[in-house]
Structure 1
Amino acid sequence: MTLAPPRPASVTDPGPLRRAAGSPPKARDAAFYRHDLDGLRGIAIALVAVFHVWFGRVSGGVDVFLALSGFFFGSRVLRTAMTPGASLWPGPEILRLVRRLLPALVVVLAASAVLTILIQPQTRWETFADQSLASLGYFQNWELANTASDYLRAGEAVSPLQHIWSMSVQGQFYLAFLLLVFGCALLFRRVLGRHQRTAFVVLLSALTIASFVYAVHAHNTDQATAYYNTFARAWELLLGALVGALVGHLRLPMWLRTTFAVVALAAILSCGALIDGVNEFPGPWALVPVGATVLFILSAANRVADPHTGGRMPWPNRLLATRPFVALGSMAYSLYLWHWPLLIYWLAYTGEDRVNFLEGAVVLLVSGVLAWLTTRYIENPLRYGPAPAAADAAPSLPLRARLRRPTIALGSVVTLLAVALTATSFTWRKHVTIERANGKELSGLSARDYPGARALTENAKVPKLPMRPTVLEARKDLPRTTEDGCISDFDNVDIINCTYGDENAERTIALAGGSHAEHWITALDLLGRKYGFKVVTYLKMGCPLTTEQVPLVMGNNQPYPKCREWNDKVMDKLIADRPDFVFTTSTRPWNIKPGDVMPATYIGIWERFEEAGIPVLAMRDTPWLVRNGKPYFPADCIAEGGDAISCGVKRSDVLSERNPTLDFVDRFSVLRPLDMSDAVCRPDICRAVEGNVLLYHDAHHISTTYMRTMADELGRQLGAATGWWADR
């Protein structure tokens, strides 16, 4: 997010005032420039940082910045578009944005890259590389939106670059708004004449309403993805731009302006405490911080609209126009860039989920120092040119050369950093791609060298060999159904049927439910081809067979209404298709205590299968790896120097002593309980590695390589449950 967006020196002047970094404001600045909005920006960044660091909440400060960015940028672009004879070539404005925004961003990204290498395991480097490229390309919000909707990445740690989503939203808005306004002005300037302002107001109003309606819809449909959606956020910037088009024509009495300012500040200051922005934005509740920002802008409207006011502002505006608030606002952009990665890297270093008061204070202090240095020595010189001291350093040179030489040198350094960061990111991604390409041999690993589950079920000897899949191979060690697109994603409620095993067999096992049913496809496919049955899939990400009215996504507890819709459809189809057996999971981990449980919402499923006479192969769910209430990746743990034991979990923490499904066997004759826990866990511990094979490709899905080694034990249990064969 652009916390100190490119702005005009005045909201009424046709051209910006330019002054050297660090120089005092001139009289003309004081008469026209809205210093109180700089102060509001300072308040907003303080709220963002404090709520992030100490409370782990969204303060609404980001939304304040979005509205201010729309106001400042929109005002200037609209003023240029409506000025007769003004150039409508967007090149200079785009160059101005690049000079304003990229230098500080590049420096923070480069520093974050170094900290990532020093602090985070190499399993996280690929994600950082992807997100650093997305940040430089200003599409980080879409990268995060894809991650939010990717079930297989739901357990990944919080990114140190997550906060840059808002900057990407603004960058995309700036470019689109600039091209839209200049394009309309170029086409219709002569036709509209003096009615240009009215036309732009109508256009912006329509776009604002359309974006807000879309935001409400997207919020209700998929809030986690909508949070990062440019189109769902555009109304916040558009509303600021719309106010910029109207503010010069308002006449408001002082008492009303004071009321506006007080109410606006109260709403902004209380927003983080009263509204859960993480779950409520960008829906209707975002109107609180955005609307408050608009009120605050309007509270000093007379200052620029009515010369008879003498420049008087309400007392809240005068307070925010004082030096401390303005100074904080002037480095808001850099402070925003620095505070979040420093917080995340400190948490990664300490292994804690939150910081205490002292740690938080240190993070904020260091962030403030780095923000001041970045603003003083990187942002301002490249934005305004070097300070006078720098210009006097070489008096023998012409003035233009004295001004340009330090700026060119600094710009060159920043450019080299950007090139190095881009090259390094692409190089690491290439390295990971090559290693995973070599991982195709995982399907042909020697059973003697890599016994996997057979080390537990058959006491197979385990030679000393490197673990496979490696920590970099693990993430892509996925079942065929995922690669073949045979599992419905979060947004899809269609039933996708794919066939595995012996496709020509008459006997059928329907594999139904969520991804914890899905990861058994690897073993079932092998067994189907061996024993002559086919496996037909009925799968949806994160959606087990359940009668729950308001399902939640396991792991983040987000509402999942499409899971309910899909369940209604899939149960009807399963009963209509009448497979010989339905293979699905029958337990889930407890969220409130150790062990596992068969949820009450599964009972309705068993009742329907009982009525239809369709037997169920009820598989006990595999353990979820959780520490301090949050899932973790064993590959990350091993990459950080852990081993099979330290990166595992106690069996009693994740599995109850008795399979909960057994309590319902007498009640439902169709249940055929399966339990592969002893192929995953030892009597006291569930290790991260068994038989030289990594068990999980994330926090709770069995790796495809390990699942192959479980086929023999699953075959023994399936043979007994189905009566189709008998394996000893």
Structure 2
Amino acid sequence: MPTAPPRRTDLDGLRGLAIALVVVYHVWFGRVSGGVDVFLVLSGYFFGSRLLRRPDGLPPARLPAELLRLVRRLVPALVVVLAAAAVLTAAIQPQTRWEAFADQTLASLGYYQNWLLATTVGDYSRAGEAVSPLQHIWSMSVQGQFFVALLLIAVLVGLIAGRHHRTALVDVVAVAFVASFWYALVTHGADPARAYYDSFARAWEPLAGVLAAAVVGLIRWPAWLRVTAATVGLVAILGCGAVLDGATQFPGPWALVPVVATVLIIFSGANTATGWRVLGVRPLVTLGAMAYALYLWHWPLLIFWLAATDRDAAGLLDGAAVMLVAAVLAYLTLRLVENPLRYRARPAPQQPAPDRASRGRARARVALAGAVALTAVALTAASLSWLGHVEDVRAKGAELQSLPTRDYPGGRALIEQVRVAELPMRPTVFEAREDIPVTTTDGCITVFTSSELIRCVYGSPGASRTIALAGGSHAEHWITALDELGREYDFRVVTYLKMGCPLNTEAEPRIAGSLKPYPECAQWVRTTMDALIADRPDYVFTTTTRPRVDGPGDMVPESYLGIWDELQAHGIAILGMRDTPWMYRDGFLFTPRDCLADGGDAESCGLPRAEALADHNPTLDYADAYPLLTILDLSDAVCRPDFCRAVEGNVLVYHDSHHLSATYVRTLIDELGRQLRTATGWW
């Protein structure tokens, strides 16, 4: 019968090293260290070792007890951190962030946080949201799903294979490992951002740990080979975060680096109690015991600190303070919550009846378990209640399409210089996130990870005159007005849109606001230009400017000129719209709706016009060189002469940090129509 192996202090220390890397890289470098991948392998190793040692496999009758054991191990600390994060969210974050927190609280408690993130990572309506204080719990969800799945597989294998259950389980795990690794390669190549959170793409990592547990007892390496394997593994783990960009390269083939390194360290200490002594030192072992709680605490503390101080990254001293506070809270969580509920004293045979102290400890454990359960119920109820409240508010969103012009003139208040009654702003801060172009809800804009061209027709579909709306999301938000004008004046609007991808000739474009390469944009632009030239619309409506990243104002990017050259060479006229201001403050984007929800007003949640726009439209400098270019500019309908406010004419200008709300665009229909009439002569 398999017996329990000696306690591996080196692996306890490896857990301590892994959590140290995770915390340090998150707090000071904003990178993925590979520590989470180490955790996944070790989780599979420890959990698999326990299952493989069972002489009778896992009978169905034992499944409830095993599941309860998992709950006792994983849930209490999670609930404590979620409760603390809920209090801090209510105290620090604007109410516009509470909905995302409620969604992710439910996902964390239900262990599907990774799937929630996977489904929203490409959601452009959420692209401007700040990083969630619960985002890190995706890996806990992956592990929880893995544990439950492996238990169910073990039960099923035991029923089918009988006394050969151990061999059969290893065979099933091996097949699952190969299948998951292949799936990871395919999905990572197709959609890296989604694959990062995908349980099936991640499963091969803990499965590698299970396979290591199955064969570690067969390893008989000489001392020099043990030391070599441990050294290579340790160096690979220490250097992983510095050399690899795990956020974009995992769980693809490069994830083999931390996974294989962890397996090497597992093998290096086979059949010993201590393994490699370098990792078995007491500080690392102690840190390893706190690893789960420290992982849970460090990220929300960092995010709340940055939110409270309105900073984008932690410095040396405040980052160290965040880590210290997280370590203290993790230690207290381990001692006061995790251990009391995880370990239950088992009376030995013939032991005398429990004394008063023992009974007191038992009652304290029951009380603690009850408090954790009640807190979990309260978090669930509060989250559902808030989500219901937000949905009730949004149910009135249909009104936004027919707001009375007199009460909600929006941009007309600037153009026509009309007096505006003091009325509640629309869309509200809760309605704003959904106040987006119809092309987004219709799926008529290509997502970040795709280079496919999607054409959709709006306005008057049967009309003989065509405007092609082409470019990124800043071209897209004009569809609200163009669609209405097309129906009224009998022209059709064909969309050629891609998230974050204005028409440009950059060979290696990057996503705005980051250094992340965006090869899909270059591929899409080439496909789109070929399609525009073949389709020959009467006009191509696109943006002509971008904000300066190195100073105030806006500019015409050099990469736009090649597009204009190509369109002009084929005799295609251009309607060039000056881009609307982006809400940059101190070099970082901010969201006016969050600012308003946090107590700001229309002016404090806006920007001086000189910071967002140059004194004159930079496109005018190119007018003589491009006779087929007609310049459109609605800046005076968005900004006052001195200020770009968050609210005009009782209408919220932006639904996020740099996209006009659909409601505000509706208030610009008349002015855009006036400029288009002059440009086209169609009416």
User: If the length of structure 2 is used for normalisation, what is the TM-score?
Assistant: 0.93
Return the offset for 1:419: 0.6
Tell me, yes or no, if structure 1 residue 513 matches structure 2 residue 476.
Answer: no
Return the offset for 1:88: 4.8
Confirm or deny: 8 A CA contact 2:125 2:436 kept in the other structure: no
Q: 1:134 aligned to 95, 102, 107, which one?
A: 107
Tell me, yes or no, if structure 1 residue 318 matches structure 2 residue 277.
Answer: yes
Partner in structure 1 of residue 26 of structure 2: 52
Moved more, 576-585 or 595-604: 595-604
Return the offset for 1:200: 4.5
| 2:576 alignment partner, SS class | strand
Alpha-carbon separation, structure 2, partners of 1:416 and 1:432:
24
Q: Could you report, residue by residue, the CA deviation over 1:122-181 in whole angstroms, capped at 9, with x for unpaired residues?
A: 000000000111111111112222232112212211110011011011111112222233
Partner in structure 2 of residue 267 of structure 1: 236
Amino acid at match of 2:530: D
Tell me, yes or no, if structure 1 residue 125 matches structure 2 residue 125.
Answer: no
> What stretches of structure 1 of length at least 5 have no aligned partner?
1-11, 16-30, 304-310
Q: 2:364 aligned to 372, 393, 406, which one?
A: 406
Alpha-carbon separation, structure 1, partners of 2:592 and 2:530:
38
Amino acid at match of 1:630: F
Tell me, yes or no, if structure 1 residue 226 matches structure 2 residue 195.
Answer: yes
Partner in structure 2 of residue 285 of structure 1: 254
Alpha-carbon separation, structure 1, partners of 2:505 and 2:265:
49
Alpha-carbon separation, structure 1, partners of 2:444 and 2:97:
28
Alpha-carbon separation, structure 2, partners of 1:321 and 1:99:
27
| 1:182 alignment partner, SS class | helix
Alpha-carbon separation, structure 2, partners of 1:202 and 1:521:
56
Return the offset for 1:491: 4.4
Q: Could you report, residue by residue, the CA deviation over 1:523-565 in whole angstroms, capped at 9, with x for unpaired residues?
A: 1122223323222222222232233333333234433333333
Confirm or deny: 8 A CA contact 2:48 2:210 kept in the other structure: yes
Return the offset for 1:383: 1.0
Alpha-carbon separation, structure 2, partners of 1:484 and 1:217:
27
Alpha-carbon separation, structure 2, partners of 1:387 and 1:627:
60
Alpha-carbon separation, structure 1, partners of 2:60 and 2:53:
11
Alpha-carbon separation, structure 1, partners of 2:119 and 2:484:
32
| 2:455 alignment partner, SS class | coil
Instruction: After TM superposition, list the pairs within 5 Å mapping 1:12-91 onto structure 2.
Output: 14=3, 32-80=6-54, 83-84=55-56, 87-89=59-61, 90-91=63-64
Alpha-carbon separation, structure 1, partners of 2:520 and 2:402:
38
| 2:51 alignment partner, SS class | helix
Change (3 A) 1:240 1:85: closer
Tell me, yes or no, if structure 1 residue 250 matches structure 2 residue 219.
Answer: yes
Moved more, 634-643 or 453-462: 453-462
Partner in structure 2 of residue 701 of structure 1: 659
Q: 2:490 aligned to 516, 532, 536, which one?
A: 532
Confirm or deny: 8 A CA contact 1:385 1:403 kept in the other structure: no
Amino acid at match of 2:556: M
Confirm or deny: 8 A CA contact 1:486 1:496 kept in the other structure: yes
Alpha-carbon separation, structure 1, partners of 2:80 and 2:197:
24
| 2:203 alignment partner, SS class | helix
Return the offset for 1:395: 5.8
Confirm or deny: 8 A CA contact 2:57 2:158 kept in the other structure: no
Give the aligned CA root-mean-square deviation in angstroms: 2.5
Confirm or deny: 8 A CA contact 2:58 2:154 kept in the other structure: no
User: If the length of structure 1 is used for normalisation, what is the TM-score?
Assistant: 0.88
| 2:470 alignment partner, SS class | strand
Q: Could you report, residue by residue, the CA deviation over 1:426-452 in whole angstroms, capped at 9, with x for unpaired residues?
A: 100110011111232122222222221
| 1:97 alignment partner, SS class | helix
Instruction: After TM superposition, list the pairs within 5 Å mapping 1:422-461 onto structure 2.
Output: 422-461=380-419
Partner in structure 2 of residue 380 of structure 1: 339
Change (3 A) 1:387 1:459: farther
Q: 1:240 aligned to 203, 209, 217, which one?
A: 209
| 1:134 alignment partner, SS class | helix
Change (3 A) 1:524 1:242: same
| 1:609 alignment partner, SS class | helix
Partner in structure 2 of residue 26 of structure 1: none
| 1:318 alignment partner, SS class | coil
Alpha-carbon separation, structure 1, partners of 2:148 and 2:346:
30
Confirm or deny: 8 A CA contact 2:18 2:39 kept in the other structure: yes
Alpha-carbon separation, structure 1, partners of 2:75 and 2:41:
21
Confirm or deny: 8 A CA contact 1:651 1:682 kept in the other structure: yes
Q: Could you report, residue by residue, the CA deviation over 1:436-489 in whole angstroms, capped at 9, with x for unpaired residues?
A: 112321222222222211222121112222221111111111122222333233
Partner in structure 1 of residue 302 of structure 2: 343
Alpha-carbon separation, structure 2, partners of 1:531 and 1:359:
59
Q: How many residues align?
A: 678
Amino acid at match of 1:55: F
Change (3 A) 1:293 1:212: same
Change (3 A) 1:322 1:398: closer
Tell me, yes or no, if structure 1 residue 718 matches structure 2 residue 676.
Answer: yes
Alpha-carbon separation, structure 1, partners of 2:678 and 2:144:
61
Q: 1:329 aligned to 284, 288, 308, which one?
A: 288
Alpha-carbon separation, structure 2, partners of 1:562 and 1:684:
38
Moved more, 504-513 or 240-249: 504-513
Alpha-carbon separation, structure 2, partners of 1:499 and 1:278:
37
Return the offset for 1:117: 0.3
| 1:105 alignment partner, SS class | helix
Confirm or deny: 8 A CA contact 1:623 1:655 kept in the other structure: yes
Return the offset for 1:356: 2.8
Identity score, percent: 61
Amino acid at match of 2:81: V
Amino acid at match of 1:116: T
Alpha-carbon separation, structure 1, partners of 2:115 and 2:515:
22
Amino acid at match of 1:122: Q
Confirm or deny: 8 A CA contact 1:395 1:402 kept in the other structure: no
Amino acid at match of 1:518: E
Amino acid at match of 2:157: C
Confirm or deny: 8 A CA contact 1:595 1:653 kept in the other structure: yes
Q: Could you report, residue by residue, the CA deviation over 1:225-278 in whole angstroms, capped at 9, with x for unpaired residues?
A: 222222222222111111111000110111111222223223323333333333
